[in-house]
Structure 1
């Protein structure tokens, strides 16, 4: 599949076809969201840097090189991220008129095996239940700016059932504080590739520590951030840096879980989203209510969380004299 139009400068074409060619070229440029195009560019540069560090050729890359690279990525990244990085490698090769190494039998075989390992790893990630979220925020240092930031990441991400990419993409301009709570505009997400935007509501919580509205207000006040990226890096001197990456959210969750004795290997950024779903299901919230917050398009994707959250509800092994 080609991702670019042929050069028509030397072709004897009618004016109408030339105009149509130029219009089609613009449509092709707009076919992918800006975030996606930036991600592909970043993915390619990361591959080039990795090849340089390991004295391997990046363009054209051999099937062996790509196999080593995706195996390296498989240690920490999820399947969808690796797949996107493979697409970036493939597109760059096609643009340079080289065969794509990602289409080789070798890479496909390594990828199939890697998917099985990643699937097992992702299945092992546990939901972060509300009681564990409370334990974590209670030990975060409220006198340090990094503790205030991490509380906001965890509580807002959990209450909004957000994906890690959605958390780090938030800007101050996406927030609207109201009498009832906080409205958050999710501009782009996994299920909203065309950027139509989805708004979610975060109500005030009864506990100030786990209240998403107060947590966000505390972070904005402590950081002094008034526009642009909300969640940013912090150096060891407490200086606010650039926007966090989605990998940073995974590390924040793991480190915070470890502080209260939870095995960090069992938790990741997705634990916030699955924790909300499971907790809401156990609290008796119906499928429609949960989907409104999670923005799931299909109930099938949500059912496993609901099932997990209600396993002990009306359980046949309860109340029989055990």
Structure 2
């Protein structure tokens, strides 16, 4: 790869690049389309998958086709009036309610964290290092994901060198890039220590138990208790969360990694956060994204409301 290609690739997030590549393959290989495409073929492609694929998936496919043509120097067929009109008709005839992850409620967060603490204590008593490591890791990941409203890929990209945690005070986390950081300027996140369900204490306990000093915060653990060198893959967060919930006796089939983010947004809304404060904290730039979760209400501080909700 040339230096030019390296910088061009860096301008697009890995997830986006993979999604676009899969979309182009679907258009060419699965459906049998040709590139460069005509506006008529793109319109027929949409019609062929109307009602089968969600509106959001079709939008992604159009974006991928548009990006391919723009990058190759061809006219963008997705901007043609016939394509726009067909897409509008599909939205009218095939309205679909957007599927959203079940928010993790605070009582379930408390239950699963208490269960993981019990697992950690039992592992300590039986000298079960792999069990202890998993319990400490899972508790830290779930609590950080909830109270910071992180996406799964953000949790998996956290580096110890970019985290500062002070017991009883708070934690500061720096991410060089994230979905809401379109210009890749890097962003710093903070969250306070809490009396219970504390993400700061859970993070420190995990690092101390695993004896980690650098590299990815959250890693795989094999059956012998050996830690992986690489960070967890974002796709592994869903089974990790579901398995922890199921062990705690909580039906988990409707939960995804996004349940942590939605759970925090639900808690914050019920606790009196206003829309602007929640958007700033979570990192939403688009009001429409935030409005899927909340309506504007008066704001109160996080520490005070958290401690009121979960007790002393």
The residue number in structure 2 matching 1:170 is: 158
- For structure 1, the residue ranges without an aligned partner over 5 or more in a row are 1-24, 311-322
* Mean Cα deviation higher: 175-184 or 129-138: 175-184
Partner of 2:267: 279
Which residue does 1:22 correspond to in 2? none
Alpha-carbon distance, 1:284 to partner: 2.3
Is 1:212 aligned with 2:188?
Answer: no
Q: Which residue of 1 aligns with 2:176?
A: 187
Deviations 1:275-321 (A, max 9, x none): 111112222233333223211224443234234999xxxxxxxxxxx
Which residue pairs with 1:226 in the alignment? 213
Distance change >3 Å, CA 215–CA 147, structure 1 → 2: same
Structure 1 residues 295 and 42: alpha-carbon distance in aligned structure 2, compared to 1, 3 A threshold: closer
- Following TM superposition, by how much is the alpha carbon of 1:158 offset from its aligned partner in structure 2, in angstroms? 0.5
Partner residue of 1:270?
Answer: 258
Residue 93 (structure 1) shift: 9.2
Q: Alpha carbon RMSD of aligned pairs, Å?
A: 4.5
The verdict on how the C-alpha distance between 1:82 and 1:29 changes in structure 2, with shifts beyond 3 A counting, is: farther
Query: How many Å apart are 1:95 and its aligned residue?
Result: 7.8
Contact 1:33/1:194 (CA < 8 Å) preserved in 2? Answer: no
Match of 1:121 in 2: 99
TM-score by length of 2: 0.64
Counterpart position of 1:136: 112
CA distance in 1, matches of 2:212, 2:23: 33
CA distance in 2, matches of 1:199, 1:177: 13
Contact 1:258 1:264 in 2 (8 A): no
- Give the Cα–Cα distance (whole angstroms) in 2 for the partners of residues 130 and 224 of structure 1: 30
Q: Using the TM superposition, name which of 214-223 and 289-298 deviates more.
A: 289-298
Superposition pairs of residues 80-91 of structure 1, within 5 angstroms? none
1:201 aligns with 2:190: yes
Contact 1:257 1:264 in 2 (8 A): no
Counterpart CA distance in 2 for 1:268 and 1:176 is: 27
* Secondary structure of 1:264's aligned partner: coil
Structure 2 spans left out of the alignment, 5+ residues: 37-41, 121-130, 299-312
Structure-to-structure mapping, 1:21-100, within 5 angstroms: 30=7, 34=10, 36=12, 38-39=14-15
CA, structure 1 residues 95+181, in 2 after alignment: closer, same or farther (shift >3 Å)? Answer: closer
Partner of 1:261: 250
d(CA) in 1 for partners of 2:297, 2:112 = 20
**What's the counterpart of residue 306 of structure 1?**
294
| TM-aligned CA distance change 1:92 to 1:234, over 3 Å | farther
CA contact (8 A) 1:278 1:308 kept: no
The DSSP-based 3-state class of the residue aligned with 1:200 is: strand
Where does 1:243-254 land on structure 2 (aligned, <5 Å)? 243-254=231-242
